[in-house]
Structure 1
Amino acid sequence: MATSRPLRTSAAALAATALLISGCSSGSSSPDGEASPGRGTAAGAQRPAEAASLAPLPAATPATLRPYYDQKLSWHPCGVAGFECATMKAPLDYSKPSADTDLKLTVARKKATGPGSKIGSLQVNPGGPGGSAIEYLQRYAPQPAAVRARYDMVAMDPRGVGRSEPVECLTDKQMDRYTQTDVTPDSPAEVNQLTSAYRSFAKGCASRAGQLLRHVSTIEAARDMDVLRAVLGDKKLTYVGASYGTFLGATYAGLYPSRVGRMVLDGAMNPELDSRTVNLNQTAGFDTAFRAFAADCIKHKDCPLGTKSVDDAGRQLSALFKKLDAHPAATGEERKLTESLATTGVVAAMYDQRAWPVLREYLAQAEDGNGRGLLTLSDSYYERDPNGTYANQMYANPAVNCLDLASAFNSPAQVRAALPSFRKASPVFGENFAWAALNCAYWPVKPTGTAHRIEAKGAAPILVVGTTRDPATPYVWAKALAAQLSSATLLTYDGDGHTAYGRGSTCIDKTINNYLLNGTVPPKGKHCK
């Protein structure tokens, strides 16, 4: 059972570099007496175009924040050879900074290797929310070589994530049980079991994370990025964000438009959408991705979903889920493959078309009663190690999402009323996604953000990248964000999978590299395959 909306799957497990999102937007309390960032329509709003625009913060740094902007980092070798790490202090609450409650955020970098003159620092964020930027950097900093040569590659795990004061909620055994919870309840008793699981999860987060839960919003994380920019000695922020990282980057641009340097937002989100619309859009996005997989699968004689049609393949997969709901499949270990875990495994494979052959194999195994393969995909999605240990992403994800936007639904009755629209968006995943969107209804902290537009008037040219059949960040979101940002150019990748940069398109990679290295913005309407 996903903790919110679909997240990222393990790049190592699927030989993919893309990191995924869980839909959200942002907001926070007014800091230091500054004008509060613009607030938009409440969750459930039907006209997102009416959302207010995020207001920039004053250009001058408040005196109360000067100690953070003036701090010096102490770097030391860490992790992979050639990397350095340091700890940066940030206020828990920007409206009431206090050394007694400061957060310690971990930063990693790999210095520019040359040849060529150094351009500056390039901050990266892989998405989530909850994805470790440091882990991402240490795995993929060697690429692209041309960019690495000219920039110090820098990553900071956002507050509440990875090595930066990580949010914790459940024990590993509790998380095992949580992920197996039935998210397509067929009876009042199963509805009660699902809501009880959500309540227990939220209670665990409240008891283990404490006050941190109130201060992990996207706006606060964006403000941390500006502190890091200053501490690194950069006058402007150069940034590459993927998936949720696009929302983080766009939020930075909205707050600090004059400090935007070269910014790539790949797999873009639309911040003017309320939570229910985000979830419904993602449901349709995953249906699009599944239909692309199914169209490929039925071309193979051994397709476990048959060879008749895409629609029939969807019916076959739904039948498999229903069978697993009644009789979970053996996996060779204590855990069995439930409908929930199987759905998560299939969803995980939708993020990268290179996983499609593996998914065909694992679906065939599941049809024969062997659930081991799909369980492996599900574990990669949940970042569960073979030893049963979970990373913190599944805890940080709802912590950010439920603070950034009000819950998509406030009761099981609201979910039931919305089921027809979700089933229409995806006959295969709709019911699961609708019930999964109920989790924030039981969150222990009230949301501080609402939907809003981000215009970032006065910002330098920003490059927004969208993939036409992206499951997690539908292409329409990239078009919408590019239209909102006053200085944005949209770059389109006609392809499958989540995000585009570094995933095999020479056209995409050359275009983005040219922008990062030379500041060259591609022509309007540029498409790549």
Structure 2
Amino acid sequence: MPRSARGFGAALAPLLLLVAACSVGPSQRPAVAYQDSQQQVAPAPQPPKPAPVPPLGIPGHDALAWQDCTEQTRAELGGPQLPAGMTFSCSRLLNTLDSPEAPTHGTARTALLKVGTGGIPLVLLNDIGGEPGTTYAARTALRLPPEMLRTFTIIGLDRRGTGHSEPADCVPAQQREAIVGFDPRATDRAALGPLNDAVLRASQECLLNLDERLQAYDTWRTASDLEELRLEMGVPRLHAVARGEASRLLMTYAERYPSSIGRIVLDGAPDPTRDAMGQLESQAQSAEQSFDAFAADCASRACPLGPDPRATVNRIVDRARTAPLPAPGTQVPAGRVVQAVLSGLSDRDAWPALVDALVAADRGDGAGLAGLSAPLVTPQGADPPRLDSELITGCNDTTLRVPPERSAEVAADWVGKYPLFGGVFAQRLVWCGSWPVPQQPLPSPRRTDLPPIPVISTAHDPVVPGLGSDHMAEQLPTGVVLRWQGAGHGALGRSDCVDRAVSRFLIDGAVPTEGMACPG
């Protein structure tokens, strides 16, 4: 048995819940100084000023071996017509795996893509549960202002365990379907039992399959991949944009390598003021609000879902709880219905397709919803199912472990408060119950010596709540919030107003005005 398999047994033992003792906060009274027996009030300390916006620098000596991959990338994007002269190149980055069981040993192989004619590298990072970073970068490049592509070489990176970066394809297909398709309205311990069993089996198989690599697929170690990428590209600072959960990766990089930070933008960000459970609850709430925006938009267009789209979706979910919807080569149980809706809400351009899929599902045809949720459970071309990497990295990044009885209590509470999405987010608390606890939590973003960091907050983002992005901007000593009143996950490439503000910052170093708002 591998060493990590023996260590994993300890992780399956009953977990002790540690409750942190409350500490007395800092005094709000001004400091008092004494001189010549007379009491004087010392001036209040001034907050530190942010570092200046770093220079773009000049192109470095790129030591990576790039090869043309234009046709392969175009196929992964669905075969769009590319702008004249646009090509894509791919490469592979080698770094130290650095697993907890073998520090400084092993090799991590990371897939890269580049596009654009500018000489300054700009790295685009995507959520661990979204499409691979190389595909995301290529797709976003098609939407960026031309001056961005003339100034920068856009670099996409498949994070550890995703896409072509030694993908973590380890969850058995049966368990993957069980986890994604699980009843979103299960609210008691007995009903959640099969989910616990599926997650336990998935954890065991991933451990046996990946061995010591398992715990090396995390955000802390992926930050070192970014630093190795900077060194290989031969540039003094890393300029980057991170979407959603990837903002946690970019801020971890800033904590580990502050002198390497260039001009960075967070396109939505997890709420740093809430723990893992609080973040999941806020996601459920934000998804509900995003669905309301979708329903209102549908109603404004003579919605074929009827006068009450939410009632229609609830009817589909209730039907699928009893009998999964048929689809070519598969079935769509209730959990996949909700996951498909969540996926459709994430892409504003996909809302018409989501409407069509729900109309068909209401007639008993699950094909459209199966397509929307397929990336979670089945390979998409050469890309592995996304559930595996989201589960592995997500559990490696958090110390939260929730016992079954508490999971049932949370599920009952959230299904009551967030009837469409509360259940699927509560179930994510179960995912990590039998997972090894990481040795150290991710650092909080608190450095005061960083340059200004624009944080984009999207009003109706079902994946990363806008309020959480606001809190990230407030928590960062150098954060500057830029609000987009639109809908979907991520604003870059979807709002001309946001694109102009981001372009001015990245190219010219012009920091957006605090609280600037862009229309939806």
Matched, 1:511 2:501: yes
Between the aligned partners of 1:380 and 1:105, the Cα distance in structure 2 is: 21
- Is 2:315 the counterpart of 1:319? yes
Deviation, 1:301, is 4.6
Quick one: distance in 1 between partners of 2:421 and 2:19? 21
Local SS of the residue matching 1:330: strand
Quick one: distance in 1 between partners of 2:166 and 2:68? Answer: 20
Query: Which residue in the other structure is 2:68 paired with?
Result: 77
Match of 2:286 in 1: 285
Equivalences for residues 83-98 of structure 1 within 5 A = 83-93=88-98
In structure 2, the gaps of 5 or more residues are 1-16, 26-60, 72-85
CA distance in 2, matches of 1:74, 1:358: 39
- The residue that corresponds to 1:15 in the other structure is none
Q: Is the 8 A contact 2:395 2:432 kept in 1?
A: yes
Offset of residue 509 of structure 1: 0.8
| Corresponding residue to 1:469 among 460, 463, 467 | 460
Shift of 1:222: 1.1
Provide the TM-score with structure 2 as the length reference: 0.79
Residue 216 of structure 2 corresponds to 215
Separation (CA, whole Å) in 2 of partners of 1:340 and 1:393: 16
1:57-95, Cα deviation, whole Å (9 max, x unpaired) = xxxxxxxxxxxxx99433333354743333322112188
Report the residue type matching 1:396 in the other structure. S
1:491 aligns with 2:486: no
Structure 1 position 460 matched with structure 2 position 451: yes
User: Which residue of structure 2 lines up, in the alignment, with residue 341 of structure 1?
Assistant: 336
Q: CA RMSD in A?
A: 3.0
**Secondary structure of the residue that 2:325 maps to in structure 1?**
coil
CA distance in 2, matches of 1:127, 1:106: 16
**Which residue, 384, 389, 407 being the options, matches 1:396?**
389
Residue of structure 2 in register with 1:67 after alignment: none
Deviation of 1:334 after TM superposition, in Å, equals 4.0
The higher radius of gyration belongs to: 2
Aligned twin of 2:326? 330
Deviation at 1:192, TM superposition (A): 2.4
Q: Which residue of 1 aligns with 2:163?
A: 162
Instruction: Report how far residue 390 of structure 1 moved.
Output: 6.2
Shift of 1:521: 0.6
What residue in structure 1 maps to residue 117 of structure 2? 113
- 2:252, 2:442 within 8 Å by CA — same for their partners in 1? no
Task: Give 1:197-216 correspondences, 5 Å limit.
Answer: 197-216=198-217
Amino acid at match of 1:502: G
Change (3 A) 1:466 1:273: same
CA separation of 1:303/1:437 partners in 2, compared to 1, >3 Å: closer, same or farther? farther
2 CA distance for matches of 1:301 and 1:408? 46
Residue correspondence of structure 1 range 33-112 to structure 2 within 5 A: 72-80=63-71, 82-93=87-98, 101-110=106-115, 112=116
Cα distance, 1:340–1:94 mapped onto 2, change above 3 Å: closer
Higher mean alpha-carbon deviation, 282-291 vs 167-176, is at: 167-176
Deviates more, 1:453-462 or 1:184-193: 184-193
Task: Tell me, in whole angstroms, the C-alpha distance in 2 between the residues paired with 1:522 and 1:43.
Answer: 42
Per-residue displacement from partner, 1:158-214 (whole Å, max 9, x unpaired)?
A: 222222222221355664455334343377664322111111111121111111111
Distance 2:188 2:99 in 1: 46
Q: Distance in 1 between matches of 2:249 and 2:102?
A: 22
Distance 1:270 1:46 in 2: 22
In structure 2, relative to structure 1, the CA distance for the partners of 1:461 and 1:94 (3 Å cut) is farther
CA contact (8 A) 2:243 2:268 kept: yes
1:354-393 alignment runs, 5 A limit: 354-380=349-375, 382=377, 384-385=379-380, 391-393=384-386
Tell me whether 1:527 sits opposite 2:520 in the alignment: no
- Alpha-carbon distance in structure 1 between the residues aligned to 2:192 and 2:334: 15
Which amino acid in the other structure matches residue 369 of structure 1? G
**What displacement does 1:374 show?**
1.4
Higher RCO structure, 1 or 2 (CA under 8 Å, sep 6+): 1
2:240 aligned residue: 239
Look up the equivalent residue of 1:438 and give its one-letter code: V
